[in-house]
Amino acid sequence: MKKLFWFPLLGSLVFCAACGSNNGGSTPVGVGAGAFSNASLKGQYVYRVAGVDLNNNGAPYRESGVFVADGNGNITGGTDDFNELSVGFSSNSVSGTYNVASDGTGTLTLTVAGSAIDLAMTLVSTNQAYLIETDTFANGSGSAVLQNASAISAIPGGNFTFRMHTVNTTESSSLVGAIALSGTSITGSEDVLRGTSFDNGTSSPLTLTGTVSSPDTTGRGTGTITDSSAVTTNFIYYIVDSNNVRFLESDSGTIAEGRAERRGSSFSAGSLSGNFAFGSRADDSTNLDAVATVGRFSSNGAGSISSGEYDFVQDGNSSVAQTFTGSYTMATNGRAAVTLTTPAGTVQQFFWMVNSTRAYFVTNSATKVEDGTLDQQTGSFSNSVLKGQYAFVMDGFNLSASEFVDRVGWISWSGSGSLNWNETVNDSGAAQQPGILAGTYAVSGNGRATASVNNLSIASNDIVFYLTSGSSGYILQNDPGVELIGAMSLQQQ
């Protein structure tokens, strides 16, 4: 699968990893509700940013690490791990500064190898922040999550479901499966789509073996894993807590990031029961992250999927409110073989359950490399469910303008059909704050919501939300030529 890492206008700059920026760390002014402050960001946080290097023809990079925030605006330590195609892997210590406004928006400057990386952030809570890079030389988005200090001193043992997406110079790969950690040993199984080939032929997963080192004082360790097709991956891992681990591939020539979550011990068809919302990204033969999809479905817990609906954009081609049905069979290890009937034809997916409310999935496809996450929907849905201030993050591109686009900020919902939208946006290295934008929204009973935002929407109701609850959801800007996907969460202080 040939990959294009850039758009035409992005080839004229010169990149140096963390080679300085022009955005500084000025104190933000809160314009929304809230009582956040610098003290709201305190402790050790695992962070990740996925993006593109504007000064290297849009080459993709992945960056992860741990930073220590002192609650007074200073980053006092940590480690930054960086991997970019054609550049390679590097690891450096971290320092820096940050500022948090009362509405949870703010700036974070990480100093790595003597140079600054500037980020805009919006706090969901004291435990989590959404991030975008605002430098002139890079576009990227991600998050930071507070570590549990009592859980980072030892390798977390037990069973985990994982998801990882990799990119090298010739193809992309989606990997979803389950692993068991016992001491320093890893065993497990996975479904792998590499390029347009499903490595395990879909009949049974590949097997996995590997080892991990003990973590350092920041919960960071190293590992290696080999699958039964003889592909070996070296990685850095970061412990968030006893139930959550993040990964970054450390091999040169391949970039990847992923995560693992503690899983249940036994599953049946009834483990997939109720209503679920989902989001996924895919690479195709034209672009990385060429396909963005959000949607929902109902499962009867006995092998039948109904009332499916999804919105997606592929290479700038928009599709709205498509319907689907399906069926599945569930193995006791939590691997569900899923067959969906969609307007585009039959689609085969494999769900790997984390528990009865959450799963990761991979799509078996000859035209795209796709993986995603699904979450059980809870509660009922109407306009009144969306009320209050929600942090959000989105990333993608505007093909019509040949720009990469990342957004972070908040949406304030009235509970009665009107909203205010506040963001920092980076359009291919040009970061700006447009100010508060007004809009309208409508929520349907299945959790699909649409919104129109003044001076942001291209078409009416082009911003689509599939809610997992009244507190969170997946987001897609669904316009011809524009593709932005992300998530939102109700702010909590």
CATH classification of the domain holding 324: 2.40.128.120
Same domain, 106 and 235: no
Number of domains composing the chain: 3
Q: Is residue 104 domain-shared with residue 218, that is, in the same domain?
A: no
Tell me, yes or no, whether 141 and 43 share the same domain.
yes
Domain's final residue, options 262, 277, 302: 262
What is the length of the chain? 493
Domain-ending residue, one of 122, 147, 172: 147
Same structural domain, 126 and 16: yes
Residues in contact with 429: Cβ distance below 8 Å, sequence separation at least 6, in sequence order? 13, 54, 135, 136, 137, 138, 139
Residue closest to 428 by CA, chosen among 26, 111, 133, 101? 133
Are the C-beta atoms of 444 and 26 separated by less than 8 Å? no
Q: Does residue 169 share a domain with residue 108?
A: no
Buried b (16+ CB within 10 A) or exposed e, 12-21: eeebebbeeb
- What are the beta bridge partners of residue 67? 45, 78
Tens place of pLDDT per residue across the chain (493 aa): 333 333 332 222 222 333 333 333 444 557 899 999 999 999 999 999 999 999 999 999 999 999 999 999 999 999 999 999 989 999 999 999 999 999 999 999 999 999 999 999 999 999 999 999 999 999 999 999 999 999 999 999 999 999 999 999 889 999 999 999 999 999 999 999 988 766 655 667 999 999 999 999 999 999 999 999 999 999 999 999 999 999 999 999 999 999 999 999 999 999 999 999 999 999 998 888 999 999 999 999 999 999 999 999 999 899 999 999 999 999 999 999 999 999 999 999 999 999 999 999 999 998 999 999 999 999 999 999 999 999 999 999 998 889 999 999 999 999 999 999 999 999 999 999 999 999 999 999 999 999 999 999 999 999 999 999 999 999 999 999 999 999 999 999 8
318 and 214 in a single domain? The answer is no
Distance CA 257, CA 434 (A): 31
- Name the 3-class secondary structure at 5: coil
Question: Six-digit token pair at 392?
Answer: 């959000």
68 in Cβ contact with 147 (< 8 Å): no
Burial 357-381 (b: 16+ CB within 10 A, else e): bbbbbbbbbeebbbbbbbbbbeeeb
| Domain co-membership, 224 together with 139 | no
Q: What backbone phi and psi angles, to 5 degrees, belong to 71?
A: 85, 0
Residue 458 lies in a domain: no
Q: Which of 209, 231, 262 is the last residue of a domain?
A: 262
Indicate whether 391 belongs to any domain: no
Domain interval for residue 342: 269-376
Please, which residues have CB within 8 angstroms of residue 278's CB and are 6 or more apart in sequence?
Answer: 293, 294, 295, 296, 297, 361, 372, 373, 374, 375, 466, 474
Contact 85, 17 (CB under 8 A): no
Same domain, 15 and 62: yes
Residue 272 has, within 13 A of its CA and on its CB side, a CA count of 34
Give domain status of residue 81, yes or no: yes
- Tokens 């999809």 belong to 293
Q: Is residue 44 part of a domain?
A: yes
Domain presence at residue 447 = no
CB–CB of 267/334 below 8 Å? yes
Say if residue 135 is in the same domain as residue 14: yes
40 and 155 share one domain: no
